A = this chain, B = another copy of it.
Amino acid sequence: MDLPQMLNPTPRFLMGPGPSDVHPRVLRAMATPVVGHLDPGFLGLMNEVKSMLRTLLRTDNDLTYAVSGTGSAGMETCFVNLLEPGDTVVVCVNGVFGNRMCDVAERCGAVVARVDAPWGQPVDPLEVEAALEEHHPKVLAVVHAETSTGVQQPLEDLGQLARDNGALFLVDGVTSLGGTDVRVDDWGIDAFYSGTQKCLSAPPGLAPVSFSPRAVEVMENRENKEQSWYLDMTMVRKYWGAERVYHHTAPITSIYGLHEALRLVLEEGLEARFTRHQRHHALLRDGLERLGFEFVVEEPFRLPMLNAVRLPKGVEDAPTRKALLDEYNIEVGAGLGEFAGKVWRIGLMGNSCTANHVNLLLAALGEILAR
């Protein structure tokens, strides 16, 4: 074979459903020479990552760290560690990622009871309550920020319902973390997972997770081994904890990047960061509506960082996205599932959430639509 050339991808403005633009400080951190996964200097970094994640998640959970895989590995980590064959789980489904939860839970041998809502709408707490009372599940699982539809699910009531019904509360915060508030302890969340490539603006590859003491107790009293060796928390926690027992070789460079990304989040401050996401979401919304796009989600349930919008009449999906990418180097996301071809998902995540990003996109769209 001919040797490929050195990689040279065209730089983009990443305004899709993730990854988002990565801050140069994070890229520079990832060029730091690699040290060993048991190097004292690296173990100190891991502790700092845990501590910064706890601040961001507003939790005291000891078992808070980053899984060595992407957000979907974080999802699988939560399910395989909490569920055993025959357990029941109630899953709220209003998009691709709720569906994925059902698939993952079934692969654990669990019985899945779904609470469905139409795509683009939140799940109704009354229906969740009825499902909890009917099925008495071990786990209630819900997506905080449904990346396929742009819906933000209010969590506080659901957490209370889970607790009242003796269920663990499992939350997907892949797209929410770092862009809107996530209060693990206040909201009674027992198992939480996210990803690094959305509002944290680190490259994809790690999944921050957190488990409450209640969840840890369930894991410690399992009858069967976790079906995944790689994601088995009873072992992984001995590496991320004080014991430092080797499990697998940690992805050092990715953790360097997450460390710097978390420093950037905390330097900005959580409230300032969430306000920034709201402010630029409003700017984008006004501009898109002027161009004839319509939001899929009703105002109170809209995610600021993931704007799902129906295309104006006469605007073709793929050719327009291609023009944005080829001519303006702007990436926006296509619709998934039942939204394919009809809806775009425009991300304003972390480092991609600036007035300049919004202005560039609106100007480019204006030019393309005027042709």
Contacts and interface: CB of A to CB of B under 8 A. Distances in A.
A248 B34 contact: no
Contacts of A48: 4
Q: Which 7 A-B pairs have the closest CB atoms?
A: A205-B251, A203-B253, A9-B41, A72-B248, A4-B48, A27-B31, A204-B249
29 contacts: A4-B48, A7-B32, A7-B260, A9-B35, A9-B42, A11-B33, A11-B35, A12-B35, A14-B34, A19-B249, A21-B33, A28-B31, A30-B31, A39-B331, A68-B69, A68-B70, A68-B205, A69-B230, A70-B249, A76-B228, A76-B230, A100-B229, A107-B225, A107-B227, A195-B249, A204-B251, A205-B205, A205-B253, A227-B227
Contacts of A7: 29, 32, 45, 256, 259-260
A16 interface: yes
Interface in A1-18: 1, 3-4, 6-7, 9-12, 14, 16, 18
Given A107-B225, A266-B3, A249 B331 contact: no
A252 interface: yes
A222 to B, nearest CB: 12
A33 B39 contact: no
A40 B325 CA distance: 10
A226 to B, nearest CB: 7
A226 B103 CA distance: 11
Contact of A19 (B34, B75, B106, B230): B34
A9 B45 contact: yes
Nearest to A331: B36
